[in-house]
Amino acid sequence: MRVQEREAAIYIVDRTCPHCGAARERDQRYCLECGRPLPDTSGRIPALRRRWIRRFGWYPGDWIWLPLALLVVAAAGAAIAASVSHHRRSEHPRVITAIATTPLTATAPAKAAAGAWPVGRNGWTIVLGSYPHGAGVDVADRAASQARKAHLPQVGVLDSSDWPSLQPGYFVVFSGVYGSESDASNALPQARGAGFGAAYTRLVAG
């Protein structure tokens, strides 16, 4: 549709009754022929109506704006919910990269190597990965070996069930024992650059 035809369509929409097609004035509120109320020709909705016609060459009716507004609100709400969910996961991720190959039993899980974390010491660390007891401590030890080969400091494995500040049931591979959260955060880029992209800081306290 040419520009002249679209402008003519806008003129028709603004100057005729949408119900019976009778001519109308811009400030007319009711049709003189059928008596039905006429749509406004000034304001935001009429402006959007003209832009729609100039863009597409046709117009479905003023009813279109309510469902479009609801759609925009719903999309924005979904985007915000997804962003909040991602932010929460990035703050407290739980990295489980191993799949248990042995069934869980009622027997106590194997303990991580003694002395992996300083006895009686509370402090901040960088969690490189967390592995469920059912996967076995060997999986965590292999991850710790990989971290040592990457020259990360003070790499070890601890049993989260021994520390009230951690969620029980996991072998936790860590790097570093720090006196403050800021010190641990300063070392975080090194851990992520060594291949542990989901590493995060955590307080280990008894």
Q: What is the pLDDT along the chain (206 residues), one digit of tens a residue?
A: 577 777 777 777 778 887 787 888 878 889 888 888 988 888 888 888 788 778 877 667 776 767 777 887 888 877 787 776 666 665 555 554 444 444 434 334 444 443 478 888 899 999 999 999 998 889 889 999 999 999 999 999 999 999 999 999 999 999 999 999 999 999 999 999 999 989 999 999 98
pLDDT reported for residue 97: 45
Alpha helices in 17-136 (DSSP H): 44-56, 65-91
What residues pair up with 202 in beta bridges, in sequence order? 125
What residues pair up with 127 in beta bridges, in sequence order? 174, 200
Measure Cα distances from 185 to 175, 200, 204 in Å. Answer: 12, 8, 14
pLDDT reported for residue 203: 95
pLDDT reported for residue 9: 75
pLDDT reported for residue 122: 94
d(C-alpha 54, C-alpha 7), whole Å: 7
pLDDT reported for residue 8: 77
pLDDT reported for residue 86: 63
Q: What are the residues whose beta carbons fall under 8 Å from the beta carbon of 43, sequence distance 6 or more?
A: none
Q: Minimal CA–CA distance to 97: which of 58, 143, 53, 54?
A: 143
Q: Between vectors from CA 99 to CA 205 and to CA 196, what angle results, nearest 5°?
A: 55
Copy the structure tokens of residue 46.
């009429």
pLDDT reported for residue 73: 82
Name the segment(s) of the chain with CATH classification 3.30.70.1070.
123-204
3.30.70.1070, 3.40.50.800, 1.10.1060.10, 3.40.50.300: CATH of 123-204 = 3.30.70.1070
